[in-house]
């Protein structure tokens, strides 16, 4: 059965029930009402008025019943009209929702529904539009990711092609070409590994093992990992450790990975002869780790986007072969460990701050 007949039957049933209830209430309450008035009339007319009592009672009862019955057709028409208007409103919204759903299923993520009114159907249209907007952003991210991956793979693939052609033409000795090919293959493997990790980070599916450890322990591990690399590039790495008792509760290896990404990023953007300072201090219920470099700084219009996948402020100033997702991974890991990463920058350099839970706080699981 379609919506209008069902609504009409429902409204008609309500009308009939209301009419029956009204007749029942009238039969119960009306006699005492008009008998009181009949007694007043009899008192005014005298003994002759007593003969009119049955006729008056019968007339009043018939008038009431006829009035109720005369109202029945108008009630039926009103029920039909309200049922039709309601059904048209609902059917229109359902039809638009169905068309919009088919458009979304067909990949047309720009489809939106009109939001008119303040009822539940408007809320449904609003929720549909929110869902469509989310799907549109996901699709845009997917297309951007495919383009970014293609762009990142283009350079090592072109290099591999050049080396193989050089071997074929006899321009480059096979031993020398093999070393270059191995370097490009490692770059592609690193890119594939980073892409796998960033997808798990953004999905919140990275396995974490929270433990309590000293902030100085994390700084020492970071210094041991990057000390030689900084020395080779002519950049000074200075560590300013906080209090010895400053304790962090997080995943040690993932925390070291986040600091490693920040230090690697600072090294690529700090010119030879520059300095990078790594420090830690208490910040309320958290511990803040800072990575301050003396590089060229990041323009303010780029600060809000540097944590996006493959986003680079100025590739021409980048030293090394970063995958372009290091900061994305760093922020995602920090957030999953209950922390956050912030950045400030000016002409004197850039300062990244990593906040991690302090002491024995409850550690959020992914």
* pLDDT at 143 > cutoff 80: no
Q: What percent of the chain has pLDDT over 90?
A: 21
Q: What is the DSSP secondary structure assignment for residue 52, as one 8-state letter?
A: G
Name the residue with higher pLDDT: 16 or 348. 348
Split at pLDDT 50, 70, 90, the class of 352 is very high
Is the Cβ–Cβ distance between 341 and 354 less than 8 Å?
Answer: yes
pLDDT surpasses 90 at 287: yes
341: helix, coil or strand?
A: strand
Question: Strand, helix or coil at 237?
Answer: strand
What tokens were used for 42? Answer: 């009899």
Average pLDDT of the residues in 170-195:
82
How far is the C-alpha of 290 from the C-alpha of 281, rounded, in Å?
Answer: 9
β-bridge partners, 249: 212
The set of residues, in sequence order, having a beta carbon less than 8 Å from that of 120 and lying 6+ positions away, is none
pLDDT category of residue 355 using cuts at 50, 70 and 90: very high
**Which is it for strands 349-357 and 286-293: parallel, antiparallel or unpaired?**
antiparallel
- pLDDT at position 44 is 66
The percent of residues in the chain predicted with pLDDT above 70, rounded, is 79
Distance, in Å, from the CA atom of 355 to the CA atom of 341, rounded to the nearest integer, reads: 6
DSSP string computed for 60-120: HHHHHHHHHHHHHHHHHHHHHHHHHHHHHHHHHHHHHHHHHHHHHHTT-TT------SSSH
Instruction: Label residue 286 by pLDDT band (50, 70, 90).
Output: very high
**What's the DSSP call for residue 50?**
G
Residue 178 tokens, joined: 């093999």
pLDDT value of position 235: 93
Residue 178 has pLDDT above 80, yes or no: yes
| Three-state secondary structure call for residue 275 | strand
Q: Which residue has the higher pLDDT, 295 or 146?
A: 295
Q: Determine contact, residues 358/247, Cβ cutoff 8 Å.
A: yes
* Residue 133 pLDDT grade (very low, low, confident, very high; cuts 50, 70, 90): confident
Residue-range domain boundaries for the chain: 3-108, 121-202, 210-357
* Cα distances (Å, whole numbers) of residue 137 to 15, 172, 186, 350: 50, 47, 32, 30
Please determine, for residue 295, whether its predicted confidence score (pLDDT) is greater than 50.
yes
According to CATH, the topology of domain 210-357 is Heat Shock Protein 90 (3.30.565)
Q: Which CATH architecture has domain 121-202?
A: Orthogonal Bundle (1.10)
Average pLDDT score over residue span 141-166: 78
pLDDT at residue 365, rounded to an integer:
44
CA within 13 Å, CB half, 125: 20
Instruction: Give yes or no for a contact between 16 and 95, defined as CB atoms under 8 angstroms apart.
Output: no
Looking at residue 360, its pLDDT comes to 54
Query: Is the model's pLDDT at 106 over the cut of 50?
Result: yes
| Whole-prediction pTM | 0.57
Residue 73 pLDDT: 79
* 226 CB-near residues (< 8 Å, 6+ apart): 237, 260, 263, 264, 267
pLDDT for residue 234: 93
What average pLDDT does the segment 225-232 reach? 90
Asked whether the beta carbons of 97 and 124 are under 8 A apart, the reply is yes
User: According to the model, what pLDDT value does residue 63 have?
Assistant: 74
Would you state the pLDDT for residue 5?
A: 74
Mean pLDDT of 224-242: 88
**261-273 pLDDT, tens per residue?**
899 889 988 999 9
What number of CA atoms fall less than 13 Å from residue 3's CA on the CB side? 14
pLDDT tier for residue 1 given thresholds of 50, 70 and 90: very low
Q: How far is CA 8 from the centre of its chain?
A: 42
Task: Say if residue 320's pLDDT is above 70.
Answer: no
Average the pLDDT over each of 121-130, 182-191, 328-337 and give the range with the smallest value: 182-191
DSSP 187-210: HHHHHHHHHHHHHHHHTT-----E
Confidence of residue 94 (pLDDT cuts 50, 70, 90): confident
For the chain, how are helix, strand and coil distributed in percent, rounded to 5?
65, 15, 20
What average pLDDT score do residues 294-323 get?
69
Taking residues 228-252, report their average pLDDT.
87
**What sign results for the dihedral spanned by CA atoms 292, 293, 299, 304?**
negative
pLDDT tens-digit series, residues 6-39: 666 777 777 777 777 766 766 666 666 666 666 6
Average pLDDT, the chain: 79
């Amino acid at each position: 059965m379609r919506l209008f007949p069902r609504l009409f039957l429902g409204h008609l049933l309500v009308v009939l029930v209301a009419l029956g209830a009204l007749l029942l209430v009238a039969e119960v309450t009306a006699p005492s009402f008009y008998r009181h008035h009949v007694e007043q009339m009899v008192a005014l007319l005298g003994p002759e008025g007593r003969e009119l009592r049955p006729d008056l009672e019968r007339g009043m009862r018939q008038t009431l019943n006829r009035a109720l019955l005369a109202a029945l057709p108008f009630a039926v028409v009103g029920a039909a009209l309200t049922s039709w208007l309601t059904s048209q409103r609902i059917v229109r919204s359902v039809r638009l929702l169905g068309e919009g759903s088919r458009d979304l299923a067909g990949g047309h993520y720009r489809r939106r529904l009109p939001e008119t009114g303040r009822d539940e159907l408007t809320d449904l249209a609003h929720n549909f539009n929110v869902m469509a907007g989310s799907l549109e952003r996901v699709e845009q991210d997917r297309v951007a990711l495919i383009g970014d991956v293609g762009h990142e793979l283009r350079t090592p693939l072109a290099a591999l092609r050049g080396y193989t052609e050089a071997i074929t033409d006899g321009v480059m000795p096979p031993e020398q070409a093999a070393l270059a090919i191995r370097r490009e293959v490692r770059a592609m493997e690193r890119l594939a590994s980073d892409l796998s990790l960033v997808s798990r980070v953004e999905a919140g599916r990275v396995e974490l093992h929270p433990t309590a450890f000293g902030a100085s322990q994390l700084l020492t591990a970071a210094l041991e990992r990057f000390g030689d690399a900084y020395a080779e590039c002519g950049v000074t790495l200075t560590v300013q450790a906080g209090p010895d008792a400053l304790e962090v509760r997080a995943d040690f290896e993932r925390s070291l990975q986040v600091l490693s990404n920040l230090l690697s990023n600072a090294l690529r953007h700090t010119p030879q002869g520059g300095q990078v300072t790594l420090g830690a201090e208490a910040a309320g219920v958290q511990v803040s780790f800072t990575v301050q470099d003396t590089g060229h700084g990041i323009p303010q219009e780029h600060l809000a986007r540097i944590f996006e996948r493959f986003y680079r402020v100025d590739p021409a100033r980048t030293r090394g072969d970063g995958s372009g997702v290091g900061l994305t991974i760093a922020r995602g890991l920090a957030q999953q460990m209950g922390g956050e990463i912030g950045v400030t920058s000016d002409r004197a350099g850039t300062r990244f701050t990593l906040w991690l839970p302090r002491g024995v706080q409850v550690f959020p699981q992914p």
